[in-house]
Amino acid sequence: MGERTEYTPGTFSWVDLSTPDPEAAKRFYGALFGWQAEDLPVPGGGFYSMQRLDGRNVAAIAPQPQQQRDAGAPPAWQSYVTVASADDAAGRAGEVGGTVHAGPFDVMGAGRMAVIQDPQGAFVMVWEPRDNIGAGLVNVPGALCWNELAAPDLDAAPGFYSQLFGWTVEPFEGGPMRYLTIKVDGNTNGGMRETQSREPPYWLVYFAVEDVEAAMGRVTELGGSAVSGPHDMSSVGKIGVVQDTQGAVFALYAGRLAP
């Protein structure tokens, strides 16, 4: 089982959903993945809804900020990378060509974070853990198993992240399209590919499932929709990209999983 008690800096460790209808999202993902929700109050009102699987934190759902709604931003899954210092990471991001959209701030006693946009427009969160390391369970059905950057310029994308997080990036051979694999201390930590058609730059979140076709069917039964797939990914596994009932995009994966 993919239980976690800590994450090496530079590793993806958490995902949360920013959505205009958290109650509908909780129903959707609870029915799809079997998540159990616990709403945690936040200062100033509102809540952060922790999603759990077998008693372990796997993701969260939160109300989309009004300013994002007013700007027409779509609901979205957000990817977090563990760092030793959110302040240092935010400072470094600006030095290597990124934009800091929200400077480092404390999330009560859970940790400290910042919101960064890479030079091509994709957003990523940095997470300095304190009381909360991030996901306590990954790489099992219903939990996070992969994070993938869609970048307009795949040649330029690795440089920013390698300077920010110390990643090494290697080509993945044998797939249907050009693909780069991210490594942290020799361990696989996600991937990068080129954007397709009018696709924006973003980090796509993958959740593991037992059967992609069945899970995609369940998505549509629950009011979501299929975006693409299912696709066979060489000898690795099978994926499908879908949207939830509010339009947030995420991916499903069935196949070999890291421990």
Contacts of 185 (CB under 8 A, 6+ apart): 8, 10
CA–CA separation, 159 vs 78, rounded Å?
21
Query: Who has greater pLDDT, 234 or 78?
Result: 78
150-164 average pLDDT score: 96
pLDDT tens digits for range 48-106 = 999 999 999 999 999 988 787 877 788 999 999 999 999 999 999 999 999 999 999 99
pLDDT above 70 for 175: no
Residues 55 and 109 in one domain: yes
- Please state the pTM of the whole predicted model: 0.96
> Is residue 202 classed as helix, strand or coil in its secondary structure?
strand
Task: Quote the pLDDT of residue 233.
Answer: 77
Question: Is 70 a domain residue?
Answer: yes
194 DSSP β-pair partners? 151
CA–CA separation, 108 vs 31, rounded Å?
30
Residues 125 and 148 in one domain: no
Specify the number of domains making up the chain: 2
Residues 148 and 221 in one domain: yes
User: What is residue 199's DSSP assignment?
Assistant: P
Question: Is 64 a domain residue?
Answer: yes
Residues 169 and 251 in one domain: yes
Question: Is 5 a domain residue?
Answer: no
Residues 85 and 164 in one domain: no
pLDDT above 70 for 135: yes
Task: Quote the pLDDT of residue 232.
Answer: 86
CA–CA separation, 119 vs 121, rounded Å?
6
182 DSSP β-pair partners? 169
pLDDT above 90 for 250: yes
pLDDT tens digits for range 106-127 = 998 899 999 999 999 999 999 9
Which residues constitute the domain of residue 120?
12-129
- The domain boundary residue, chosen from 102, 129, 156: 129
pLDDT tens digits for range 9-20 = 999 999 999 999
Look at residues 137, 135, 167 and name the one whose alpha carbon lies nearest to residue 149.
167
pLDDT band for position 43 (50/70/90)? confident
